A and B are shown apart, each in its own frame.
Chain A
Amino acid sequence: SQQGEEDPQALSIQEGENATMNCSYKTSINNLQWYRQNSGRGLVHLILIRSNEREKHSGRLRVTLDTSKKSSSLLITASRAADTASYFCATDMDSNYQLIWGAGTKLIIKP
């Protein structure tokens, strides 16, 4: 079973625009992570935000976490063609060793 749901399922934007993806989850979490997956590089960790954090930045990435709404967003600024990929959120809970993943948002950056 998958805990997270990404929204939208697919997103197509022009290069240079910002892309925002959302993730909702069902149970209390320790941490939430965002990953990128493309055919060239497989699954790559992007950023981790802890349950007591509200916002985190890494380069062109900005992640927010709202534990009251059980949701997170990933913003990619000034998108590039190389950002074309599927983006997944994954959550972990204190009680086990599992990462629970959403179904992903497929992002296409048009040149």
Chain B
Amino acid sequence: GAGVSQSPRYKVAKRGQDVALRCDPISGHVSLFWYQQALGQGPEFLTYFQNEAQLDKSGLPSDRFFAERPEGSVSTLKIQRTQQEDSAVYLCASSLGGRGPGADTQYFGPGTRLTVL
């Protein structure tokens, strides 16, 4: 079966532009996570969905970041008015159950590398 896919794989944006990053989780997976990974660092949690409900968005760094998962499957992470410090790899992960991050294995997508010039 297909794994988690993300698109685009690479995105270059000019400072101030809006970007939208897409995540297609594994079919049937209840949980979906977004992470931001800076070069040479581990991922940092951004937000968590259980089906279509966004249960935790405490990791979103500013109100320029917005995520949605309207039908409980595909998710979009939107960054408005991009800044240079937003440059990072954005990772999406999904897991089968809805019991929290340690209860089920998370399957990661390849990530979207965002570069803001």
Contacts and interface: CB of A to CB of B under 8 A. Distances in A.
A99 B45 contact: yes
Interface in A95-109: 96-104
Contacts of A43: 43, 91, 93, 108
Contacts of A4: 42
Interface stretch (B21-29, B54-62, B76-84): B54-62
Contacts of A98: 45, 48, 56, 58-59, 101
Interface string B32-48: 01000000111111001
A4 B43 CA distance: 11
Chain B interface main SS type: loop
B108 A2 contact: no
A28 interface: no
Contacts of B41: 2, 103-104
A96 B59 CA distance: 11
A71 interface: no
A101 B44 contact: yes
Interface residues of A, number: 23
A103 B42 contact: yes
A105 to B, nearest CB: 10
B42 A88 contact: yes
B100 A97 contact: yes
Q: Which of A4, A99, A100, A102 has the most CB of B within 10 A?
A: A99
A99 B101 contact: yes
A97 B107 contact: no
Interface in B75-117: 91, 93, 100-102, 105-111
B44 A92 contact: no
A31 interface: yes
